[in-house]
Amino acid sequence: MYVCICNGVTDRQILEVAEAGCDSVAEMTMRTGAGSSCGSCLGLVAEMIEEVRARRALPIPVLAEAA
């Protein structure tokens, strides 16, 4: 799905960049161009970044058991 229609940025692109470590809307705009035209997608971009950040923060029980 397109998140930023103005610049043709998809949800997959946003998620890939967020999973690679991008954790701010400003950085996402610099990397993908999302939000650099009209800005109406910036709220959704921020939500998607936060979702990825929350997933990364979840503890992985298997790793705790392995240690």
Residue ranges of alpha helices (H) inside 1-67 are 11-19, 25-32, 42-57, 61-66
Q: What is the pTM for the complete model shown?
A: 0.83
pLDDT for 2: 97
CATH of the domain at 35: 1.10.10.1100
DSSP-assigned letter for residue 36: S
* Number of domain units in the chain: 1
How would residue 66 be classed by pLDDT, with cut points 50, 70 and 90? low
Full domain range(s) for residue 50: 2-66
pLDDT of residue 65: 62
Which amino acid, one-letter code, is at 42? L
Is residue 64 scored above 80 in pLDDT?
A: no
> Over the stretch 5-63, which tens digit does the pLDDT of each residue have?
999 999 999 999 999 999 999 999 999 999 999 999 999 999 999 999 988 887 766 65
45: nearest Cα among 9, 8, 6: 9
